[in-house]
Amino acid sequence: MIGKPRLILASASLVAVWVLCSPFLAKWLIVEKQLDHADALMVLSGSAVYKERTRTAAELYKQGVAPRIFITDDGQRSGWSQAEQTNPPYVVLEQRELVANGVSPDAITVLPGKVSGTGDEAAKLVEEIDIRALNSVVIVTSAYHSRRALWTFERILSGKNVDIGVSYAPAGIGTPKPWSWWMGFRGWQMVAGEYFKFAYYRLYY
């Protein structure tokens, strides 16, 4: 039978191991593939984290990485606005945020139709590639979504001869930091949940 002091020591050791290892679980999900120049940026729908993604895209646009920004409509609404007396869709807020951060309205294209997930967004880009003869696109998303997003786009666009890059909004803007994600429910959704989603995508696609 394990004595109480040993049990306490074992529990403390497990906690210490978890605290040391949990940042690596988060950081594994984060990847970046830079392109010096691309035909377009594509901001992936993120509903509640739309600000970090659109602001990152606006910075890339102003740096001259790409002259055009694609955004998608996931059909989600942001909640009732007392000031506007309406319930604006996130896609409308994304456009406003881009313009507020220095993007020309003429540079923004909302891809037609609704999307439900990263796979749908990649399929929408396939259609746009065929229409516009694009050669390169940089995906803009949140940090913990970056690995799955890049993998999904490269998988679905594998026959298109298009160079796909990915840039991410730094963790800590709208997402938890790598060393503290496990301390809150939102972190478990974003990090632990991303592992389940990635496993599903690997099986489905």
> What tens digit of pLDDT does each residue of 123-134 get?
999 999 989 999
What local confidence, expressed as pLDDT, does residue 20 receive? 63
What is the distance between the alpha carbons of residues 146 and 32, in angstroms, rounded to a whole number? 7
Comparing 24-28, 66-70, 76-80, the range with the smallest average pLDDT is: 76-80
Q: How confident is the model at residue 8 (pLDDT cuts 50, 70, 90)?
A: low
| C-beta separation of 180 from 187 below 8 A | yes
Q: Which domains does the chain have, with CATH numbers?
A: 27-204 (3.40.50.11100)
**Mean pLDDT for the chain?**
87
Which among 28, 98, 97, 39 has a CA at the least distance from the CA of 64? 39
What local confidence, expressed as pLDDT, does residue 54 receive? 95
Q: Give residue for tokens 């972190």.
A: 187
Greatest alpha-carbon span in the chain = 72
Query: Does 85 have pLDDT greater than 60?
Result: yes
DSSP-derived 3-state class of residue 195? helix
Other beta carbons less than 10 A from residue 60's beta carbon: 22
What mean pLDDT do residues 131-156 have?
A: 95
